[in-house]
Amino acid sequence: MIRLALLLAALSAPLAAARPAAEPEVRLETSAGPITLAIDVRHAPITGRNFLRYVDEHRFDGTSFYRAARGKRDPKTGLVQGGINHFMPKSLPPIAHEPTGKTGLRHIDGTLSMARNAPGTAMGDFFIVVGPGAYLDEAPNYPGYAAFGHVVRGMDVVRAMLAAKTYPGGWDQQTIGQSLVRPVKILRAVRVR
């Protein structure tokens, strides 16, 4: 009986070693509740490792989710944006753009993606998609955005942020009506796996 158990253990060891490692997970402890994110460093290594560096160096601690961009046709869809914009001293240098055409990832409900101005300008500003977000994927003559993870737990918190009250103005034409009246604080960002 013991020999059989040892034989089964020896046969299953190579199978266990062949399995891909689990995606790193990050918990954002926010003033609205926790959000757990899985970071896809296998498909989006540049973007995923950049995000993890911000987490490991505690650069997200004390920042906030400050934008709720609701869909015009369906205000229950859109995105919430937070993190570190390029004007903050906590920013690291910009990273290369990893479009969805290169990574194979897509912007769907719960996707974590990098905010940017032009391709190659992303730093520590990110967003979470609520509902379908194919309009954020790379397309002919459109670079799209760099998806690099997804929400594991806490989409209720994300949806509540999307529905929160916003100011009628904005910092440019595209952000009119999207600045949260009460930004949601990111108290702490930590790896949980």
- pTM of the model as a whole: 0.87
Where along the chain do its domains lie? 26-187
Q: Give the pLDDT of the chain (193 residues) as one tens digit per residue.
A: 555 444 444 444 444 445 567 899 999 999 999 999 999 999 999 999 999 999 999 999 999 999 999 999 999 999 999 998 666 677 899 999 999 999 999 999 999 999 999 999 999 999 999 999 999 999 999 999 999 999 999 999 999 999 999 998 766 677 889 999 999 999 999 999 9
In the 3-class helix/strand/coil scheme, how is 77-143 assigned residue by residue?
CEEEEEEECCCCCCCCCCCCCCCHHHHCCCCCCCEEEECCCCCCCCCEEEEEEECCCHHHCCECCEC
Asked if CATH classification 3.90.650.10 holds for the domain at 26-187, the reply, yes or no, is no
